Chains A and B, each alone.
Chain A
Amino acid sequence: MALAEPDMANGPEPSPMEKPQGYWAGVGERLLQDKLTMFCMAVVLLLILSAIFAPWLGLADPYKGSMIARLKPIGTPGYILGSDEQGRDMLSRLIYGGRLTLFIGLVPVVLAFFFGSFLGILAGYVGGRTNTIIMRTIDVFFAFPSVLLAIAISGALGAGIVNSLVSLTIVFIPPITRVAEAVTSGVRSLDYIDAARATGASNWTVIRMHVIGNVLSPIFVYATSLTSVCMILAAGLSFLGIGVRPPEPEWGLMLNTLRSAIYINPWLSALPGMMIFITSLCLNLLSDGLRSAMNVRD
């Protein structure tokens, strides 16, 4: 990290007893002091871990229905969170449901982070015609509200997990590219880049040594702020019936199939949405905490 090195020329001489604190150590320390962010991180981690280790948690089979135990209310013995319209255990389905929802909600942002950073850094660093071509293409995607674009692509491709991943990745590449391009052009015009080039460093070396380290933090923080939207959209696609297919447990899909039960067992049918809401709230707060801990300004 170029920014992380302590300013040895002007800064105070670090005492021999304590090592100078690096950038990431400072970020970690600030995060640890931020109780709300730590709490949200714990909640998100718990959701992810319970989703991964769901088969070992001793839960009921999330696919096994029961004709006589349909729509049991929350708190029924044997069905702590009730049962769904096919008599499947809600607690089990909610925990298993995290697998697909979190997967489809987070992976597109990770993929878009790589593609978008690549395109944005390329456009921002090279400039000129390359920049024009990339950024004008990106502009076209901004003509679609993100929900509309996701539904349009998923609707055309048809339901399915891979199709959802593809459409959501396409939705999030343009905003990340735009941010990456803006930060990179900003860094590009700074003196130390000129200095590095004057020493004869190749473009690749300049990008690797001096650009990436300084642009990745803001792009990363921006990408984390998209995770909550992506999760809501991912579950939304399944809710519309163009995401995950039944009988897979997935929060958006469960919310949709349980809609028929709102007159029989209203609060039970709202549970999957509650999970989406809690996760998305924690992801948003986590991103805000990360932003201030990493000193990123927007």
Chain B
Amino acid sequence: MLSYLIRRIILVLPVAFGVSIICFLLVQIAPGDPLTAIMPVDATAEEQAAMRAAYGLDKPLPVQYGIWIANLAQGDMGKSIATGRPVAAEVFGAVKNSLLLAVSAAVIAFPIGVFLGFLAGYFRDTWVDRAVTAASITGVSLPNYWLGIVLVIIFSVNLGWLPSMGAGPGGSQDWKWNWVHMRHLVLPAVTLSVVPIGIVARTVRALAGDILTQDFVQALYAKGMTRLDVLYHVARNAAATALSVMGLQLGYLLGGSILIETVFNWPGSGFLLSNAIFQRDLPLLQGTILVLALLFVAMNLIVDVVQAAIDPRIQRT
């Protein structure tokens, strides 16, 4: 297990390196000068050059990359051009809120998805199967930013049951575990959970269907095992793959909540990202994307390791 773990971590390093290069290049492909936002309109050529030197923009690209990485290693992701505050602080505050949203959506989505998928796989080719399959393809096809708007129309505008904006009363950004705050979490979390419900249900359906037709299931029944005990064996066989799909989905939720955060004005990383885009705040854009991508890589690593821990067959490949 330990050697597998080490091998897996070594494999992650080049990916993390590649991620850092892409994030670095993002700023380079952006049209226009990254300093136009703060450069005074009447700056002379010398002043402009001085400003470029102060930000290290006069050096060749590989050197700039090296400096960027060295600072990164010390937790310094530069300063936001719009607010002047350190990018790291802004990003981590926002990522905390995004995590809260992603985990809440996962808590809603995974049990429902597993349950529906298992029902469909168990009652294959019956009306249950068809209903679940239809529901999951609908879920996967929904543009979730639109679903969010529809839910706001129903539950905020028409019924007035739930708030439609922000993470707390009066636009408060400090999350607290009380009902006043949690009411704000309901709609975005439910909206975000629909796509993973569809994907998890679809995966578990295929898994359960395949495993139930295998010989060992017949053998277990033949030796007189109860239905419930057989189901335990089926679940154990499905667990590794199902968990890996769910882990990936959690990662997607974290990176994919950007549109939903915009719909609900949720103060998370997506919200930060869209602010960064509109204010042409490239260091903030770069930092947010880097952190989200590295979180996603870490998530994949955890999923692989957990999967190998559950299913010893994986370690040998």
List chain A positions with a Cβ less than 8 A from chain B.
136-137, 139-141, 143-148, 151-153, 155-158, 228, 232, 235-236, 239-242, 255, 259, 262-263, 266-267, 269-270, 273-274, 276-277, 280-281, 283-285, 288
Interchain CB contact under 8 A, B19 and A140: yes
Q: A144-B296, A273-B145 are in contact. List 7 more A-B contacts (CB 8 A).
A: A144-B289, A152-B26, A232-B143, A266-B153, A266-B157, A270-B150, A288-B137
CA distance A151 to B272 in the complex (A): 12
Interchain CB contact under 8 A, A157 and B22: no
Q: Which residue of A lies closest to B270 (CB)?
A: A151
Question: For the complex, would chain A's binding face be called helix, strand, loop or mixed by DSSP majority?
Answer: helix
CA distance A224 to B194 in the complex (A): 22
Q: Mark B271-314, 1 if CB is under 8 A from A, else 0.
A: 00110111000100100010011101100100000000000000
CA distance A34 to B78 in the complex (A): 57
Interchain CB contact under 8 A, B276 and A143: no
CA distance A155 to B276 in the complex (A): 9
Interchain CB contact under 8 A, B26 and A143: no
Answer yes or no: B252 CB below 8 A from chain A CBs.
Answer: yes
List chain B positions with a Cβ less than 8 A from chain A.
14-16, 18-19, 21-22, 26-27, 29-31, 137-138, 140-143, 145-147, 149-150, 152-153, 157-158, 251-252, 254-256, 258-259, 262-263, 273-274, 276-278, 282, 285, 289, 292-294, 296-297, 300
15 A–B contact pairs at CB < 8 A? A140-B15, A140-B22, A145-B292, A147-B258, A152-B285, A156-B29, A236-B259, A240-B262, A241-B278, A262-B157, A270-B149, A273-B145, A277-B146, A284-B140, A284-B141
Tell me whether A157 and B146 are in contact in the complex, defined as CB-CB below 8 angstroms, given that A148-B289, A148-B292 are known contacts.
Answer: no
Interchain CB contact under 8 A, B30 and A158: yes
Q: Which residue of B lies closest to A139 (CB)?
A: B15
CA distance A288 to B255 in the complex (A): 27
Interchain CB contact under 8 A, A156 and B15: no
Interchain CB contact under 8 A, A240 and B141: no
Q: Of the candidates A147, A242, A270, which one forms a contact with B153 in the assembled complex, judged by CB atoms under 8 Å apart? A: A270
Residues on the B chain within 8 Å of A242, using CB? 277
Q: State the Cβ distance, A9 to closest chain B Cβ, in Å.
A: 33
CA distance A132 to B277 in the complex (A): 34
Tell me whether A281 and B138 are in contact in the complex, defined as CB-CB below 8 angstroms, given that A148-B255, A240-B262, A259-B149 are known contacts.
Answer: yes
Interchain CB contact under 8 A, A262 and B152: yes
Interchain CB contact under 8 A, B146 and A155: no
Residues on the B chain within 8 Å of A141, using CB? 22
Total inter-chain residue pairs, C-beta < 8 Å: 134
Residues on the A chain within 8 Å of B141, using CB? 228, 277, 280-281, 283-284
Residues on the B chain within 8 Å of A263, using CB? 157
CA distance A183 to B80 in the complex (A): 45
CA distance A232 to B294 in the complex (A): 25
CA distance A137 to B140 in the complex (A): 28
Interchain CB contact under 8 A, A147 and B259: yes
Interchain CB contact under 8 A, A139 and B18: yes
Q: State the Cβ distance, A134 to closest chain B Cβ, in Å.
A: 13
Interchain CB contact under 8 A, A143 and B18: yes
Interchain CB contact under 8 A, A143 and B31: no
Residues on the B chain within 8 Å of A277, using CB? 141-143, 146
Residues on the B chain within 8 Å of A139, using CB? 15, 18
Q: Which residue of B lies closest to A151 (CB)?
A: B258
Interchain CB contact under 8 A, A145 and B143: no
Interchain CB contact under 8 A, B251 and A155: no
